[in-house]
Amino acid sequence: MNILHIDSSILGEQSVSRSLTSAAVARLRALSPDARVVYRDLAANPIPQFSAALVAAGATPPEQLDEPTRRDAATLGAVLEELLAADVIVVGVPMYNFGIPSQLKSWLDALAVPGKTFSYDENGAKGLLGAKRFVIASARGGLFGEDGPYAALEHQESYLRSFLGFLGVTRIEIVRAEGVRISQAQAESAIAAALQEASQLQPA
Ligand SMILES: Cc1cc2nc3c(=O)[nH]c(=O)nc-3n(C[C@H](O)[C@H](O)[C@H](O)COP(=O)(O)O)c2cc1C
C-alpha cells in the first residue's frame, strides 16, 4: 500500500492539523506495516502557482520551455505522479479565512489534469480517482456545524469534498478538530477527540 501524507499548515509545531495527519498516518502504518509513505510539506516547500506559461507547458515540448517554467512543470508533474501512485492520501487541511490554505489550493491545481484525474465524454465530466481513499485532517478555530450561524462560511471541507468528488473520489473520511480558537478547554477536548478518531481509522 502507498500512503501519501500531505501537510499544509503554516503553523509548524503549533499546528493542529499536522498532529492529526501524523496520528492518522501512524495508525495506517500500524495497520499496514509494509506501507510506503511519501511525505510532502506544502508550507515548507510550496509548489508553483499556476501561470499562463505553466498551463501552456503541458502542450509544449520541454526543450522549448524556459528553464524556470521547465522546472516548475516538472514539479507539478511529480506532484501528480505522487497522487496517482497513492492508495491512501492523508491531507492536513486547516481553515484559513473560511477556506483552505493557498498552498493547498496550488496542490489541488496540480491535480486537476484532464486525462489523468478526470475526463470528458458525451455525458460530461467523469472523475478517474474512484479507487482512492482520502483521510482529511481538518482543523478550524470556530464552529461550522450545519445548523449553526456560521454554516454558510464553511468553504474548507465543503470545497475539498466538492473538488475530490469531481475527481471521482467517494471514500472521504474526515477527522476534525474544530473550535480550537474558542477556548483552551474546547481546543483540548476537540483535539483529543480527533486524535482518538485518527487512532481508530479502519484498514484499507
Ligand atoms: C491565517 C489564519 C486564518 C484563520 N482563519 C480562520 C477562519 O476563517 N475561521 C476559523 O474558524 N478559524 C480560522 N483560523 C484558525 C485556524 O483554523 C486554527 O488555528 C486551526 O488550528 C488551523 O489549523 P493548523 O493549526 O493546522 O494550522 C485561522 C488561523 C490562521 C493562522
Asked if residues 144 and 154 have their Cβ atoms less than 8 Å apart, the reply is: yes
The pLDDT value recorded for residue 18 is: 98
Asked if residues 24 and 199 have their Cβ atoms less than 8 Å apart, the reply is: no
In a domain, 22, yes or no: yes
The pLDDT value recorded for residue 93 is: 98
The pLDDT value recorded for residue 10 is: 98
The pLDDT value recorded for residue 191 is: 98
In a domain, 204, yes or no: no
The pLDDT value recorded for residue 113 is: 94
d(CA 166, CA 150): 25
Identify the CATH number of the domain in which residue 21 sits: 3.40.50.360
The pLDDT value recorded for residue 55 is: 87
| CA-closest residue to ligand 1 atom 8 | 97
| CA-closest residue to ligand 1 atom 12 | 141
Tell me the CA–centroid distance for residue 198 and ligand 1, in Å: 20
Probe ligand 1: pick from 9, 140, 143, 160, max atoms within 8 Å of CB?
A: 140
- Helix 102-111 vs helix 67-85: crossing angle, to nearest 10: 80
In a domain, 9, yes or no: yes
Long-range contacts of 102-105 (CB under 8 A, 24+ apart): 103/8, 103/10, 103/42, 103/43, 103/46, 103/47, 104/6, 104/8, 104/42
The model's pTM = 0.97
Q: Which domain holds residue 138?
A: 2-198
| CA-closest residue to ligand 1 atom 15 | 141
The pLDDT value recorded for residue 60 is: 86
Residue type at position 87: D
Strands annotated E in the chain: 2-7, 36-41, 88-94, 118-121, 124-127, 133-140, 171-178
In a domain, 184, yes or no: yes
In a domain, 115, yes or no: yes
In a domain, 151, yes or no: yes
Residue type at position 146: E
In a domain, 159, yes or no: yes
The pLDDT value recorded for residue 62 is: 83
- If one counts the domains in the chain, the total is 1
Residues in contact with ligand 1 by the CB-under-6-Å rule are: 9, 11, 15-18, 94-98, 139-142, 180-181
In a domain, 141, yes or no: yes
| CA-closest residue to ligand 1 atom 1 | 96
Tell me the CA–centroid distance for residue 26 and ligand 1, in Å: 24
Tell me the CA–centroid distance for residue 49 and ligand 1, in Å: 22
The pLDDT value recorded for residue 58 is: 80
Question: What cell was used for 56?
Answer: 501552456
Question: What cell was used for 55?
Answer: 498551463
List the chain pLDDT tens, one digit each, 204 residues. 999 999 999 999 999 999 999 999 999 999 999 999 999 999 999 999 989 989 888 888 888 899 999 999 999 999 999 999 999 999 999 999 999 999 999 999 999 999 999 999 898 999 999 999 999 999 999 999 999 999 999 999 999 999 999 999 999 999 999 999 999 999 999 999 999 999 999 997
